[in-house]
Structure 1
């Protein structure tokens, strides 16, 4: 069964589009899947099907400025003006709608990349509503955030908040191609070694990655990272919330493993149960490698089953 849901964003402007995928069996629980920067939730369809086969309902939406939501509202790359918690509060609204339809089930978050940042922000505010959280391809201390944010502040103060300057994105993320031996012809090579995945990502009409991000939205993206740093963030996450951190050890978002362990150690240092697994030799999208995605899904499902 498939439900398509539309609900008002917390930015007080957009309608968010989401889907609830329901297996034809008695459900074990719900996994809310939160996608990353510049993409959309159907890029996780292989994982969605695997989770359904394991008996989980899967809820997934497209963020403001992204995918079907951006198309419906005419807002590619524009997340609104409600600040860095907009997407997190949208995920909370989506969760509440899912729980109205399917109450009293164990509820998990799976967030990838920017989605992991949203999931970490959600865990700090609403973690007591969750049975567990999975942070995939997450960050520790991300490079250049304070420097780029200062420049964005200047541009926004000059009235350019809803303009787009690719130089800011380049300064924030350009270093992530350093270990891509094939170069950066498509501009997304850091996501995966597989040229077919790179091509699919680059040519996807629902993919906002090649659409310019508004300056104010890029600042919100940076602020998402800044509000989930350190033990100050980790201490806000309920101590009894189990967490799984997974990533490729060649993923620049997680600073090639170092940032993933930073996140895990912040949680461990504040008394949390955290499990960490790095997949050797793989970049950012561990769930999209043909030779790895089945293992990633099996590991995810095993962890979910342990925490039902």
Structure 2
């Protein structure tokens, strides 16, 4: 297995750097990029990256701006002004270009988790430079989306673009509230593995509230993604959507089923879907993690062999 290389690149928002990692294969079969989810960081997917690297892939990942080591002085915000969400998509493309320079021209695979799934899908529509696309734990749109956008807009006008509103945060994450004072109760929706919940709670770069502007841009990005798919702008490549059957954040498979149906109806003819019984939102950190990792590697291996 390759050593992990850490490095920094200029972020697309022009405000600073984005932290990235690489596990380079000697003779790569493909380049895989992992896009992490909301309120976490790329380091949580190191085990998946190692498994993919052992299968012969060069693996890359960013800490999204506002997350992990890419905080840029405004933790939880994508930028100091509007447009940060779009810049996250641009950062994905620039990392692919970096990976191509390092690993040569070979098939590219994009894996997005949670928020990262929506970013990956939007990247596929805007750039289409990937050969394979995987979305894990698709997030459902909150029922109070219009009210959240209004509240976020008002908060930004009064407090600035990078400020946090706990009211907006609570509206956006209403699925995550559970009666009881123990911290573990707050993250019951994440995984059924209590040890993984404890690791998440103990990690200072996990579980933090995003800025009101970030939540607003996520909602806007979700609406743009739906419009983009309806316009038939998604590249018609093999797509694999995965979710836990008990993923409350994804509407108990509803979000995954809806995006798959939308893709199938608008030009994406190669969409596969799998649900993991009793898996919650973060199936890569749930009891089914080994099965999920094996499925990811097997699906990529098969499709890479078809491409070549």
Corresponding position of 1:137: 137
CA distance, structure 2, for counterparts of residue 75 and residue 154 of structure 1: 19
Corresponding position of 1:2: 4
CA distance, structure 2, for counterparts of residue 231 and residue 163 of structure 1: 30
Corresponding position of 2:164: 164
Q: Are the equivalent residues in 2 in contact too, given 1:231–1:270 (CA < 8 A)?
A: no
CA distance, structure 2, for counterparts of residue 302 and residue 183 of structure 1: 41
Instruction: Kindly report the root-mean-square deviation, in angstroms, between the aligned alpha carbons of the 2 structures.
Output: 2.0
Kindly state the Cα deviation for residue 177 of structure 1 after the two structures are TM-superposed: 4.3
CA distance, structure 2, for counterparts of residue 278 and residue 67 of structure 1: 29
Q: Does 1:299 align with 2:295?
A: yes
5 Å-filtered alignment, 1:210-221, equals 210=208, 212-221=209-218
5 Å-filtered alignment, 1:270-281, equals 270-272=266-268, 273-281=270-278
Query: In the comparison of the two structures, how many residue pairs are matched?
Result: 298
The alignment's TM-score, normalised by the length of structure 2, stands at 0.90
Q: Are the equivalent residues in 2 in contact too, given 1:227–1:233 (CA < 8 A)?
A: no
After superposition, the Cα gap between the structure-2 partners of 1:234 and 1:184, relative to the gap in structure 1 and judged at 3 Å, is farther
CA distance, structure 1, for counterparts of residue 181 and residue 262 of structure 2: 34
Q: Does 1:268 align with 2:272?
A: no
10-19 or 182-191, which moves further after superposition?
Answer: 182-191
**CA displacement 1:197-216 (0-9 Å, x = unmatched):** 111011113x1422x42222
Q: Does 1:257 align with 2:239?
A: no
Q: Secondary structure at the match of 1:69?
A: coil
CA distance, structure 1, for counterparts of residue 32 and residue 74 of structure 2: 27
Q: Are the equivalent residues in 1 in contact too, given 2:169–2:212 (CA < 8 A)?
A: no
Corresponding position of 2:67: 66
After superposition, the Cα gap between the structure-2 partners of 1:166 and 1:274, relative to the gap in structure 1 and judged at 3 Å, is same
5+ long unaligned stretches in structure 2: none
**Greater relative contact order, per chain length (Cα 8 Å cut-off, separation 6+):** 1
**CA displacement 1:85-123 (0-9 Å, x = unmatched):** 121111111111111111211100000001101101101
Q: Are the equivalent residues in 1 in contact too, given 2:155–2:165 (CA < 8 A)?
A: no
CA distance, structure 2, for counterparts of residue 188 and residue 256 of structure 1: 16
CA distance, structure 1, for counterparts of residue 213 and residue 141 of structure 2: 21
Corresponding position of 2:219: 222
Q: Secondary structure at the match of 2:127?
A: helix
After superposition, the Cα gap between the structure-2 partners of 1:184 and 1:192, relative to the gap in structure 1 and judged at 3 Å, is farther
Kindly state the Cα deviation for residue 18 of structure 1 after the two structures are TM-superposed: 0.1
CA distance, structure 1, for counterparts of residue 189 and residue 267 of structure 2: 33
Kindly state the Cα deviation for residue 164 of structure 1 after the two structures are TM-superposed: 1.3
5+ long unaligned stretches in structure 1: none
CA distance, structure 2, for counterparts of residue 230 and residue 276 of structure 1: 21
CA distance, structure 2, for counterparts of residue 208 and residue 151 of structure 1: 24
221-230 or 279-288, which moves further after superposition?
Answer: 221-230
CA distance, structure 2, for counterparts of residue 204 and residue 233 of structure 1: 39
After superposition, the Cα gap between the structure-2 partners of 1:193 and 1:183, relative to the gap in structure 1 and judged at 3 Å, is farther
Kindly state the Cα deviation for residue 155 of structure 1 after the two structures are TM-superposed: 1.9
CA distance, structure 1, for counterparts of residue 122 and residue 35 of structure 2: 12
The alignment's TM-score, normalised by the length of structure 1, stands at 0.90
